Amino acid sequence: MDTYQIISDVPQYTEFMGVAELSASSRDLARRFPKLVTLQTIGTSTEGRPIELLTIGHGKRKALLIGTPHPNEPIGTLTLEFLSRRLCEDDDLRDELGYTFLIIKCADPDGTLLNEGWFKQAFSPLTYALNFYRPPAREQVEWSFPVHYKTLHFTESCPETRAVMAVMDTHRPTFLYSLHNAGFCGAYFYVSRPLPGLFPRLRRVVASQGLAMHRGEPEVPFTRPFEEGIYGLFGIQERYDYLARNLDEDPAPCIEAGTSSDDYLKTLTAGYSMVCEVPYYFDPVLQDTSPAGLTRREAILQGVFRVDSIYHDVREYFAIVGRGAPRDRLYRSVDDYVKRAPKQLAALKHEVEAPQYARDATRAEAFDSTVCRVFHHMLYLGEVYRLAVARGNEEVTRIVRRRLEEICAQIDSQSDLQIVPLKKVVAVQVGTGLHTLAAWKEFGPAE
């Protein structure tokens, strides 16, 4: 298998596909390759939209690939679009891999539709924020699998997650590729465990696209690093324990969500999971490991101070536009953020009192803490903007949009922000999937 020849064939994508386009493409594959492909509806979304499973091939092993486990992360839909077609058209590749591929291109069609406003526009942080939607964790495909851990008991999985669970229960896959992507960072990975020779291949596929491994702060403070930019997968148990040691209270009410797809897979098979996080935006400083002139603790607290200001804006204007508003998806997302962000920030403030945060920060870490963190939190102000538009509140619409423009201008002035071409990030996800499938077939348990 010539992985680099395959990823060189990734098209020059310039926009994302919508829910209807993804479904039409799957129907086309099923029509063109009737002996190889089956397409079936495996469930319906919260709002009644079909969730479709594309099955390709007849290999002994089963691989489950999931797109939009978070609906604001559609890079994986393009990855699955490319891979599904390549697997149908390339008999040698399919035979060499030896898997039956279970592909859910769009696991959250409702949430994806709410993001389609930025899918085909000229891409920028402001455009993204003004059209952004991300469900609260309890409504996310990735984080609403059932769990019982200490005082946390979650069993009300959303319909989308139940559809994915049904596929896992029926087919018991031994490989899981949950197609996430990040926002403003370098490329990084979560894996079940190290496999011989896999990590150098991951670094090489990132470098082959002229991209960089993430050298800023890890996405979450409690993750377990294997190498730079490569971390162990975690479930809700690790978040629970992190909150328990940093908050003087039961962490379960601060979570009110389930665990991950990887955790659920562990209850079924001794399988392997991979998550490849690639960005929309990058700044070269995110690979700069020279000293920043302040400690990690100081940098993180500076970022938290900036986020506090955004949080207060979200809370203030949500109190206005949310009054009497229908409890729709956007409302529930902002409401959840307003309720849970203070506890998350308080836990982080306590966490950074630990000794490891007293060392000097690199410029990459400081930038990640003070600029990238602001980017991620301002997106919820974008949801408030959408609520204000929907409610017809022109004054709040104008104020919040101006505030978003100010934040984006600040980010622009503090960074050399670059939009990462879609071809490159899709190529990284395709290459990552192929490398990991091959490594797991070679070094995983015999089937």
User: In the chain, what are the domains?
Assistant: 3-283+420-443 (3.40.630.10), 288-416 (no CATH)
Average pLDDT over residues 258-276: 97
pLDDT at 443: 86
Q: What are the distances in angstroms from CA 213 to CA 209, 364, 401? A: 11, 11, 33
Q: Which amino acid is at 321?
A: V
Strand partners, 177: 65, 274
Average pLDDT over residues 112-119: 98
Residue 441 and residue 197: Cα distance in Å, rounded? 13
Q: 372 CB contacts (<8 Å, ≥6 apart)?
A: 183, 184, 185, 216, 286
Write the pLDDT tens digit of every residue in 225-251: 999 999 999 999 999 999 999 999 999
Question: Is residue 335 within 8 Å of 322, Cβ to Cβ?
Answer: yes
Question: Is residue 314 within 8 Å of 337, Cβ to Cβ?
Answer: yes
pLDDT at 311: 98
Identify the DSSP state of 270.
S
Residue 383 and residue 402: Cα distance in Å, rounded? 14
3-state class (DSSP) for residue 162 = helix
- The band of 359, judged by pLDDT with boundaries at 50, 70 and 90, is very high
Residue 421 and residue 426: Cα distance in Å, rounded? 9
Length of the chain: 447
Question: Is residue 56 within 8 Å of 160, Cβ to Cβ?
Answer: no
Question: Is residue 168 within 8 Å of 265, Cβ to Cβ?
Answer: yes
Residue 156 and residue 427: Cα distance in Å, rounded? 36
pLDDT at 245: 97
Mean pLDDT score across all residues of the chain: 97
To the nearest whole percent, how much of the chain has pLDDT over 70? 100
Tokens of 154: 């979650």
Residue 362 and residue 103: Cα distance in Å, rounded? 40
Tokens of 67: 């797109």
| pLDDT of 447 above 70 | no
Strands 61-67 and 99-104: parallel
- The band of 1, judged by pLDDT with boundaries at 50, 70 and 90, is confident
Residue 141 and residue 332: Cα distance in Å, rounded? 16
pLDDT at 48: 97
**Hey, which bits of 115-166 come out as E strands?**
147-149, 152-154
Average pLDDT over residues 355-360: 98
Environment class of 426 (CB within 10 Å of its CB; exposed 0-12, middle 13-18, buried 19+): buried
Write the pLDDT tens digit of every residue in 182-233: 999 999 999 999 999 999 999 999 999 999 999 999 999 999 999 999 999 9
Residue 428 and residue 202: Cα distance in Å, rounded? 8
Average pLDDT over residues 348-377: 98
Environment class of 279 (CB within 10 Å of its CB; exposed 0-12, middle 13-18, buried 19+): buried
| pLDDT of 289 above 90 | yes
Nearest one of 183, 190, 186 to 212, comparing CA atoms:
186
3-state class (DSSP) for residue 274 = strand
HEC readout, 327-388: CCHHHHHHHHHHHHHHHHHHHHHHHCCCHHHHCEEEHHHHHHHHHHHHHHHHHHHHHHHHHH
pLDDT at 16: 98
The 10 Å Cβ neighbour count of residue 417 is: 17
Identify the DSSP state of 402.
H
- The band of 17, judged by pLDDT with boundaries at 50, 70 and 90, is very high
- Residue 348 main-chain phi, psi, to 5 deg: -65, -40
